[in-house]
Structure 1
């Protein structure tokens, strides 16, 4: 139980608002505090591994939400938490910032000695993209968790992307250079105003460099066919070979960009449909978990609440139910059948 005295000891004065999730078993509790002169609380949502406050930034009357997360350890439990956070985002319907210990990496470099991403990390990275979140940089350190020689970056802050961008843009060598030049020309404007001002130049750049992907791919394929016709007619030298390799390489790049583009579009449509049905899916998932959970079980006439004993009893029951019985050996005597 967290008291005002505990919060004052941590905050240093009586100016903090707070909400908390109590400790349950081996799971650590959550405590989220904020400056009441800057943030006014409207709603609070709580889960077993997360705590969310929804309210208004007082200075500019900006509606937003903050969610503190304490990630699960096994993959299946992580998937449940990420599903709940997706529902939460649709429930709040305001810019939502996720922060805390997610107990997962998103890059190989974020775990010392790692050479590949585990399946749960790939799924977490996909969830970040589906939610259109930005993983904010950690400038002062590489890792956030240490135990002996083991080091990982599992603590992070995930915020809404400041403006909608297409993932395929980042495959173009001129994209970041264009963005830097445009931001430089905007001078000393506020960041959000700069991002709004980028909308028009981004649209122009997109039409110039990414307009009609299919036509671009068809043009490259047509040029490749022309080179192949020359080779068929006996025209073949080092220049022809180099040109064909360059055309094939460029065509592959545009195929990849097209795949990235449509994959992102499909995710966006799925996310919109999910947001429309957020309350329905949230209630459905909650009801399913309640229905599937066994809180108590009567064993040999005695009601048992201990989860470990319940698991053992269920396992033994089905083990006995489905075990293979030994069949008697049956033989036939001679001349038994005539």
Structure 2
């Protein structure tokens, strides 16, 4: 990823800070980006195929080491990277570390569909390293494979190359974690980890959601609602009652127009998964291409609204 693309990606997510290990030619390349308003990231190590740092969330009492991995393809480079990671873990035995990325290897036969049904020497060595370092895998919800060659029939091969592990034990990490594969079209499917932090109940006063600005008609609707409702009270209370009416109208409009962005995201993801399955089964045609294009457009719009939603929430917390 070029510097210009990285800057664009950070801007899109609303993040401001970045630590990276650049690619060598067409291979490798790692980056960790974060929002300094919510968390402090302190770089610790940066190597060719992995990098790590300390993550400390300000308001969540949540901290851990984050290790970002891009699995080497050459046996020698792979062994060196693992030796470095193992040394880091041994030097920090009492700290929780989350290790994630593309490991360029599978752990078991069921992590692959198509092609040879035997574990390679690299896969067996991967299994041994996971067991030797007492790494616990964070299971992926629903989907299984993170890479496919997009070929038809018997030529199709799918693998689970991306995953997350935790070092230090879940007993030392009092949070629920969920890993899921994002159904973005292509050979690689991004994987994300959500850490669910328990929070006590709090009042939820009405707020004007920033994502409502995504609708170009919002100001016309506000003006329309302000004018159409007659308030039969003294002038002293006209503004207050008008605002109550606007609040009710906005909530109704939000439910009808935006709905629950999380439910919509899940619905579109399900449709995209069905499209990808159809492509792998029957190949791509014009109808499927147009359907996929429309779904991806909806998905990008939902993700943009979700980012705005969480960005606003982070400022309020």
Report the structure number with the largest CA radius of gyration.
1
Higher relative contact order by CA 8 Å / sep ≥ 6: 1 or 2?
A: 2
TM-score scaled by length of structure 2: 0.47
